[in-house]
Amino acid sequence: MAPPDIDNNIREECNKMSENIFDNILTMKTLFIQKEALRHNHQPKILPHREAEVKEISLNLVEALKGHIPSNMILYGVTGAGKTAVTNYVCEELQTKGEQIGRVVHPVLVNCRKIDTQYRVLSHLGNTLLESHEKSDIPFTGWPTDRVFNELVKRMDARGGVYVIVLDEIDHLVKKAGDDLLYNLTNLNTELKNARACVIGISNDLKFTEFLDPRVKSRLGQQDIIFDPYNAEQLQDILRQRANVSINKEAIGVGVIELCAALAAQEHGDARCALDLLRVSTEKAEQEGSKLVEQPHVRIAQAQIESDQVTPVISTLPTQQKLVLASVLINESNGLKNIQTGEVYQVYKQACGVVSQQFLTARRISGIISNLDMLGLITAKTVSRGRYGRSKEINSSLPNNVDSREIMAKAEPMFDEVFGSKYLHQSRL
DNA sequence: AATCCACAGGAAGCCCGGGAAC
DNA sequence: GTTCCCGGGCTTCCTGTGGATT
């Protein structure tokens, strides 16, 4: 027979085995009622302070319900101004009404940040319209583009009705792929026999039509709507409305909504940012076991959101782009500010040498610097220094709480060597 | 006014990988 | 297996830029 203390040990082990790490977490009291209502992809039924825009878009799209072709439109506004939410809402309502009165309307949304070439947009549209009897999808590569276009026209005609093609982040598409696609899409009605189509472009950039062919510009911009950024008070209304359905009423501390709104208003009136702040603050309070979300939770949430946004961007950069970013950081740690392209390139070439990587040309690095600027990891301002040439002044723009060196080294261990190299840590090479 | 610097950035073309069609 | 097509990454070549200097 085993001694009693050994028995107890075995019993304890058995108890531990039956426990699950999620047991305690699952039974924790939650402050949320419906967390999903605070997510970006949630489509609310009420859109505060966007009544005028909803009405304006509806007045145009109602033509589809009458069997006519609505005007093409461009919706402008900063990130988080409600452009996509408003468009989705109007399109859903349009489709529902169409079903009620027997008019076929097909809204199709394309996110041009993810689907960003002419070929991909056309094949995406074509595959969205795939009927069950159709044999196969349009492949993601392989066909000539005009064949994809003809297949799209064929499928649209086969289904009939009015198509509302929404191109979200259209500015990104135009900058990357030019305006051929827009030329074709705004010309669709001359190809279609049995269907009709209109295009709604959504853009963060007020000036993107400057890059367009004048014919495309006039056809696409038949009606423009500008979404002004939300101010702090409007953001408070949005947050209160969402908080009502998503968080326990007693759980929100004094000034929390106001702080989230104020911080988001500083970020150009970004409603998504405000919702993220409220959601993450509540999660933080919950994890602490607190029954109340308070202002310090918002501050913690703000730091975490900044870090969460930037970490995956850095870790998934291609090696060469990481090397360029590392070169900027090394220059900064050498005490330099407003680093010139040439200085970055010199350090970059040496960094390549340290880790035995082939270095790219200055032209390519110039492109990578612009790309890192676009991603918000650095700021690169073009300046002319007269006799001393025209260059860029480059500075990193990473949040203080982000350890970019660790992120890079974690993704690719060779960066330990890059940042550890004494040779690269001279000032003004 | 002309010159100069240190690039910026556009255009053209090459190469490679992935996929479809024949 | 070969050919065609697309997309992405890259290089080479080139023109443009704009303010300080001569």
> What confidence tens digit (pLDDT) does each residue in A276-303 have?
999 999 999 998 888 899 999 999 999 9
DSSP 8-class letter at A230: P
Please report which confidence band the pLDDT of residue A131 belongs to, taking 50, 70 and 90 as the band edges: low
pLDDT of residue A174: 82
pLDDT of residue A5: 57
> From the Cβ of A143, is strand C under 7 Å away?
yes
Report how far residue A354's alpha carbon sits from residue A79's, in angstroms, rounded to the nearest whole number: 40
For the residues A200-210, what does the mean pLDDT come to?
A: 84
pLDDT digits (tens, 9 = 90+) for A108-127: 999 888 888 888 899 889 88
Please report which confidence band the pLDDT of residue A18 belongs to, taking 50, 70 and 90 as the band edges: low
Nearest CA to the C1' of C21 belongs to which residue? A387
Report how far residue A300's alpha carbon sits from residue A420's, in angstroms, rounded to the nearest whole number: 31
- Answer with the residue of higher pLDDT: A137 or A93: A93
For the residues A27-35, what does the mean pLDDT come to?
A: 82
- With CA of A138 and C1' of each nucleotide, the nearest comes out as B20
> From the Cβ of A357, is strand C under 7 Å away?
no
Which of A41-45, A174-178, A265-269 has the lowest average pLDDT? A174-178
What is the phi/psi pair of residue A352, to 5°?
-60, -40
> From the Cβ of A139, is strand C under 7 Å away?
no
Proportion of chain A above pLDDT 90, given as a percent: 53
Tokens 């159709």 — which residue?
Answer: A134
A332 burial type by CB count under 10 A (0-12 exposed, 13-18 middle, 19+ buried): middle
Q: What is the three-class DSSP state of A226? A: strand
Q: Protein A142 CA to nucleic acid C2 C1', in Å?
A: 15
> From the Cβ of A340, is strand B under 7 Å away?
yes
Please report which confidence band the pLDDT of residue A30 belongs to, taking 50, 70 and 90 as the band edges: confident
> From the Cβ of A428, is strand C under 7 Å away?
no
Q: Protein A11 CA to nucleic acid B12 C1', in Å?
A: 76
Q: Average pLDDT over chain A, rounded to whole?
A: 87
Nearest CA to the C1' of B6 belongs to which residue? A389
Q: What is the three-class DSSP state of A254? A: coil
Q: Protein A119 CA to nucleic acid B19 C1', in Å?
A: 14
**Which positions 407-426 on chain A have a beta carbon less than 7 angstroms from any atom of strand C?**
none
pLDDT of residue A387: 87
Residues 6+ apart with CB under 8 A from A289: A28
pLDDT of residue A10: 61
Start-to-end C-alpha separation, chain A: 77
Q: Are A339 and A329 in contact (CB under 8 A)?
A: no
Dihedral sign for Cα A71, A72, A74, A75, please: positive
What is the phi/psi pair of residue A195, to 5°?
-130, 170
pLDDT digits (tens, 9 = 90+) for A237-267: 999 999 999 999 889 999 999 999 999 998 8
- Answer with the residue of higher pLDDT: A56 or A376: A56
pLDDT of residue A1: 43
> From the Cβ of A159, is strand C under 7 Å away?
no
Dihedral sign for Cα A167, A172, A173, A174, please: positive
Task: State both tokens at A413.
Answer: 């261990």
Q: Protein A387 CA to nucleic acid C20 C1', in Å?
A: 4
> From the Cβ of A114, is strand C under 7 Å away?
no
Please report which confidence band the pLDDT of residue A16 belongs to, taking 50, 70 and 90 as the band edges: low
**Which positions 241-300 on chain A have a beta carbon less than 7 angstroms from any atom of strand C?**
none
> From the Cβ of A127, is strand B under 7 Å away?
no
Report how far residue A148's alpha carbon sits from residue A345's, in angstroms, rounded to the nearest whole number: 42
pLDDT of residue A213: 77
Please report which confidence band the pLDDT of residue A429 belongs to, taking 50, 70 and 90 as the band edges: very low
Does position A70 have pLDDT exceeding 50, yes or no? yes
Report how far residue A70's alpha carbon sits from residue A163's, in angstroms, rounded to the nearest whole number: 10
- With CA of A385 and C1' of each nucleotide, the nearest comes out as C19
A121 burial type by CB count under 10 A (0-12 exposed, 13-18 middle, 19+ buried): buried
Q: Protein A212 CA to nucleic acid B22 C1', in Å?
A: 39
Q: Protein A84 CA to nucleic acid B7 C1', in Å?
A: 39
Does position A339 have pLDDT exceeding 80, yes or no? yes
Q: Is A389 left (phi over 0), alpha (psi -120 to 50) or beta?
A: left
For the residues A360-376, what does the mean pLDDT come to?
A: 91
Tokens 């590569």 — which residue?
Answer: A141
Nearest CA to the C1' of B18 belongs to which residue? A141
Q: Protein A122 CA to nucleic acid B17 C1', in Å?
A: 22
Per-residue exposure over A357-374, b if at least 16 CB sit within 10 Å of its own CB, e if not: bebbeeeebbebbebbbe
pLDDT of residue A72: 95
For the residues A206-213, what does the mean pLDDT come to?
A: 75
pLDDT of residue A136: 59
Please report which confidence band the pLDDT of residue A2 belongs to, taking 50, 70 and 90 as the band edges: very low
Residues 6+ apart with CB under 8 A from A324: A344, A348, A365, A368, A369, A372
> From the Cβ of A142, is strand B under 7 Å away?
yes
Residues 6+ apart with CB under 8 A from A426: A334
- With CA of A122 and C1' of each nucleotide, the nearest comes out as C6
- Answer with the residue of higher pLDDT: A343 or A140: A343
pLDDT of residue A6: 55
Report how far residue A283's alpha carbon sits from residue A289's, in angstroms, rounded to the nearest whole number: 10
Q: What is the three-class DSSP state of A20? A: coil
**Which positions 372-411 on chain A have a beta carbon less than 7 angstroms from any atom of strand B?**
380, 382, 386-392
